[in-house]
Amino acid sequence: MGKKGQSLKVKVHRHKDKTKEIASLNQQLGLLDLKVVLVTADGNCFFRAVAEQLEGDEEQHARYRQMVVNYLQEHREEFEPFVEDEVPFDEYLKTMREETTWAGHMEIQATSLVTRTNICIHQLKTPRWQIRNFITADTTTIHLSYHDGEHYNSVRRQDDPGVGPAKPFIIEGDATPASQPPPVKDNIKDKSKVVEAATIKRIMGSSGCTNEKRVREILLDVHGDADTAIEYLIAEAGGDASSTGSDENDPGSSAATGVRL
């Protein structure tokens, strides 16, 4: 089992069968022509997934861990206030340098900054979690999946053979922070014409809903607000969208991040 940094609260997870969850997420990602790429579950999974994305070699995880911890140390004044449980910052960094120590919010943010990438985290029936520190068109985005509050994997295009860095792709609506389309006016005679296929595909991919007719109905009901449609469909499917802020479903939560399978 991996171990958490000393600032992270201990939480015992029951054993969960990931096979079904990963299969369901793969089906959801398939709507976006994406797939989950598995990495070893040994407490280093976040750094393994990052290394797999950037180099195609998860065994480079230790190098990325050290890069991230060095960045935290060099930018102490920015990160030290966020260490929990009054653990001395130097002690926190010492623990985080050790293999199998789980990553948290700070490590995810520092990874984005030190690698100069944005990060997108995919979850089952949950809106994607985005970290956007860079807005230039040529910025690489690391795509990860997060499973049952316990494990990270890599996400690639379905046509990506997995050799070398992940092939880049842009998910419609995620290219810019202003991803929400303008509202649709009720007096349009044929509302179906204003619902673009790309928006439908994005909503289906984010919500996990495979019923295109239902997606169109909800999108029209919420006047073209794609994000609201996603939240509604998640809630309708029995997934509580508000749970994304809970320990178990928040990719960067101190109680859930980077745990091995």
Of the pLDDT bands very low, low, confident and very high (cuts 50, 70, 90), residue 253 is low
Query: At what angle are helices 212-221 and 226-236 packed, to 10 degrees?
Result: 120
Mean residue pLDDT of the chain comes to 80
Name residue, tokens 């920015």: 78
Answer CATH for 3-171 from 3.40.50.2300, 3.90.70.80, 3.30.420.80, 1.10.10.10: 3.90.70.80
pLDDT at 3: 54
The one catalytic residue in 61, 120, 151, 160 is 151
The predicted structure's pLDDT at residue 242: 38
**Tens of pLDDT, residues 64-107:** 999 999 999 999 999 999 998 889 999 999 999 999 999 998 99
Q: Please spell the DSSP secondary structure of 150-199, one letter per residue.
A: TEEEEEEETT---SSSPPP---TT-SSS--PPPPPPTT-S-GGGGS-HHH
Among candidate residues 13, 33, 42, 247, the one labeled active-site is 42
18 token code pair: 């990931």
CB atoms within 10 A of CB 217: 11
Q: What's the pLDDT score for residue 240? A: 41
Domain coordinates in residue numbering, the chain: 3-171
Question: Between residues 247 and 28, which one has the greater pLDDT?
Answer: 28
45 is catalytic: yes
Please check the confidence at residue 145 and state whether its pLDDT lies above 90: yes
Say what the pLDDT of residue 249 is. Answer: 57
Q: Tell me the C-alpha distance between 24 and 260, whole Å.
A: 19
